[in-house]
Amino acid sequence: MKKPRSSTLALIVASGIATAAITGNLLAHGNVLPQPVDTTALPAIGDAWLTKNPFRADPKVYAAAQKIGESAYGQNCARCHGLEAISGGIAPDLRYLDAGEAGDEWFMDRFQHGAARDGKVYMPPMGDILGQKAGWAIRSWLDSKHQE
């Protein structure tokens, strides 16, 4: 009677460790998955992908977009493009993107589709997961970080 009990205990302990290891793994990967962005405070902009930032024209909307964009950037882009948009070198420094409408389309193209070459993903696509409102919110915040 004593033996089976201790081996059962050993099994429980072992499966506990395995569960902890798996959970730890999932959590680690969880940080890498795109984090949803709440954009309900921003006006609807339709489903068709735009090539110019629709939030820039109205100062109130633009300010709201920048606030949402700052946190969306921190959760989804900073790990590669750097905190405060200052790149540590593993991905381009987004402060130097063309400012205003001249840089909007290129920004959105990358946000939506990411970047891959020779079957290697350099940047994961974000468009379908985060939606274009989140993309334009990030773009709005990046405007405030722009450098020539």
Q: Which is nearer to ligand HEC, 67 or 124 (CB)?
A: 124
* Cα 91-76-134 angle, rounded to 5 deg: 115
CB of 47 to ligand HEC, least distance (A): 19
Q: Which is nearer to ligand HEC, 62 or 111 (CB)?
A: 111
CB of 79 to ligand HEC, least distance (A): 6
The reply to whether 91 sits near ligand HEC by the rule CB under 6 A is yes
Number of Cβ within a 10 Å radius of residue 74: 16
Q: Do the beta carbons of residue 56 and residue 115 sit within 8 Å?
A: no
The reply to whether 138 sits near ligand HEC by the rule CB under 6 A is yes
* Overall residue count recorded for the chain in this entry: 148
CB of 49 to ligand HEC, least distance (A): 14
Query: What is the distance between the alpha carbons of residues 142 and 85, in angstroms, rounded to a whole number?
Result: 7
Give the residue ranges of DSSP H helices in the chain: 2-30, 59-76, 78-81, 100-113, 127-130, 132-143
The reply to whether 111 sits near ligand HEC by the rule CB under 6 A is yes
State which of residues 77, 95, 140, 141 lies at the interface with ligand HEC (CB under 6 A): 77
Interface with ligand HEC by CB under 6 A: which residues?
A: 76-77, 79-81, 91-92, 94, 97, 107, 110-111, 115, 122-124, 126, 138
